Structure 1
């Protein structure tokens, strides 16, 4: 899992302060280890493993008798009740084993579809934007940089005044600069690079006024 150091925090804070010196924008940087625990994904794979076991038993019923006699050689040919009980036991065992294996987060993340991770990261970013940046500035010029390090995905979300003069494509360079460093294991460098690019864009659209005040602390928030 990626980690941020005290030096990273100091560098990001300095980068935010430098970017805001040029504009009326307010940049908020937030990171988290994971945007979601993806418990439902683990459950889905466990159910899939259970149905796969049932499908194998349905396709090759003789293997059920073979395993039954192998494990219980003294029991002889299983009755219908015994066979169905054995089927239930196998299905339950497959489900529980798969569910236990899927508790290992690296595997759960690896098996989670990219589209699912993208939706969960986006949803979490929007939630955080609404509580940390939306409508917290007089000019509605707050912007959130959100990095979810477990998924290695990020979101950049701007307040009302920013969205009126930008599009998602506006932040493509900042997003690329961020994720390139994240993939190299340097999240601090990525955030600093993204903040600098975002600061330049904000300076073009919202130049700093003489009476501008710092409305949101210049610091990296780690959840």
Structure 2
């Protein structure tokens, strides 16, 4: 995925959506957009080790290809020579896969979907704990976290919101976000998702007279 940045107008639109949503609720909405949630270097290492094991398995199934070059005499290859050939083959396989997967798009494409989902969720929770959780007097913060490279988003709610809102109620916000991103309108997706989150919050935590703005309205870009 090409480098992505919001324009100033898009940042202003997202911030305005947060301000408008918070005008109807005591809840606070934080938006974070990350390029990616993990480097997945461990995934590349796992593939490289798997390549080594595949070479070993092939040597067991068809050991002939490891036989040193024939010197014209009929004899069984020595065990040290065979093991050395296997070591060389394993090393080549390991390094070849590591070099290939140093290219981030390929590494990301080969990362299992479940792994990406777990890493995005973990990063969203980390961001929530640092910038949103218990940062409001009533524990009423909601984080909308978008990870661009993984094409995944998470909504994480503080205690007062979580107690009142079942996870499936965020479905409209997620659907709006995904639909707009697929159409190439990431900022519009965030604006729509924020509005949907605000609508839910307005039902469970309606606006009261004394409720200051405790969290930033601007989109945070990581």
User: What does the per-residue CA deviation read over 1:75-113, in whole Å, with 9 as the maximum and x for residues that have no partner?
Assistant: 977433222111101111101111111111111111111
**Larger proportion of helix:** 1
2:23 matched residue in structure 1? 21
Query: Partners of 2:13 and 2:23 in 1: how far apart?
Result: 15
Contact conserved, 1:152 with 1:183, CA < 8 A, in 2?
A: no
CA distance in 2, matches of 1:145, 1:184: 19
Q: Map residues 95-110 of structure 1 onto 2, 5 A cutoff.
A: 95-110=94-109
TM-score (norm 2): 0.92
8 Å contact 1:141–1:161 — kept in the other structure?
yes
Q: Verify: 1:219 aligned to 2:218, yes or no.
A: yes
Which residue matches 2:132?
133
Determine if the alignment matches structure 1 residue 91 to structure 2 residue 90.
Answer: yes
Which blocks of at least 5 consecutive residues in structure 2 are unaligned?
Answer: none
Measure how far apart 1:25 and its partner are.
1.1
Could you tell me which of 44, 47, 50 is aligned with 2:46?
Answer: 44
| Rounded Cα–Cα distance in structure 2 between residues aligned with 1:93 and 1:125 | 38
Q: 1:20 to 1:56 in 2, by over 3 A?
A: same
**CA deviation string 1:120-163 (max 9, x = no partner):** 11111111111111111111111000001110101001111101
Question: What SS is found at the alignment partner of 1:213?
Answer: coil
Q: Distance in 2 between matches of 1:189 and 1:105?
A: 27
Q: What number of residue pairs does the alignment pair up?
A: 218
- What is the RMSD of the two structures over their aligned residues, measured on CA atoms? 1.6
Is residue 4–residue 188 contact of structure 1 (8 Å, CA) maintained in 2? no
- Stretches of structure 1 that go unaligned for 5 or more consecutive residues are none
1:52 is displaced (CA, Å) by 0.7
